[in-house]
Amino acid sequence: MAAGWTLLGVSRGGKPLPDNVLELSTADLDDVVLTFSNKVLRVSGTVTDPDTDVIVFSADTTGWREGIFNSRRIWRAHTGSSGTFEHSGLAPGEYYVAAVSTRLTTDWRDPQFLERLIPGAVKVTLGDGDDKVVALKTFTPKGR
């Protein structure tokens, strides 16, 4: 893909394909549409407690509940002493954004852990060119 361009979505026969997965066969591909944009989708913000991990994950739980993780739909970063974070490159869609103590994120891709983050997460929707800024409080998920 050319620098500066992002894949927004893939559709076939006018219907969006989940996670942009296109199954190829011997069938004709005349009804496949790839949509690109040169606008950046970004989520950024601050966390009240420095040295925290921020996890952004898809609100569409279908994939990650089955242990399927698409790098364009889940992301983690450490805020450091500044308490700030920024990420671009996510696919359009709805996301949960949560700040969690780094000592709790060793298994951050575990579906049960992500499920426990939802009550303390902020929900954001990212569309073409959106730049969302969120303020987060560190959340301690319940359970194990």
d(CA 83, CA 105): 16
3-state secondary structure of 48: coil
Residue where the block lists tokens 């989940």 = 18
Residue type, 59: A
CA 86 to centroid of chain Cα atoms:
12
**Six-digit token string for 92:** 């359009």
What pLDDT score does 48 carry?
93
Q: What are phi and psi of 126, to 5 degrees?
A: -110, 125
d(CA 125, CA 121): 13
| Domain segments of the chain as ranges | 6-37, 42-136
Average pLDDT, the chain: 89
Cα–Cα distances (Å) from 114 to 30, 55, 61, in that order, read: 38, 9, 9
User: Are 67 and 57 within 8 A, CB to CB?
Assistant: no
What pLDDT score does 107 carry?
92
Which sign does the torsion angle of CA 74, 95, 78, 64 carry?
negative
- Domain 42-136 fold is Immunoglobulin-like (2.60.40)
pLDDT higher than threshold 60 for residue 3 = yes
Whole-model pTM: value is: 0.83
Angle at 125 between CA 111 and CA 120, to 5 degrees: 45
Q: What confidence tens digit (pLDDT) does each residue in 115-127 have?
A: 999 999 999 999 9
What pLDDT score does 102 carry?
93
Query: What mean pLDDT is predicted for residues 38-67?
Result: 92
Residue where the block lists tokens 């983050």 = 117
**Six-digit token string for 133:** 């800024």
pLDDT higher than threshold 70 for residue 71 = yes
Confidence of residue 19 (pLDDT cuts 50, 70, 90): low
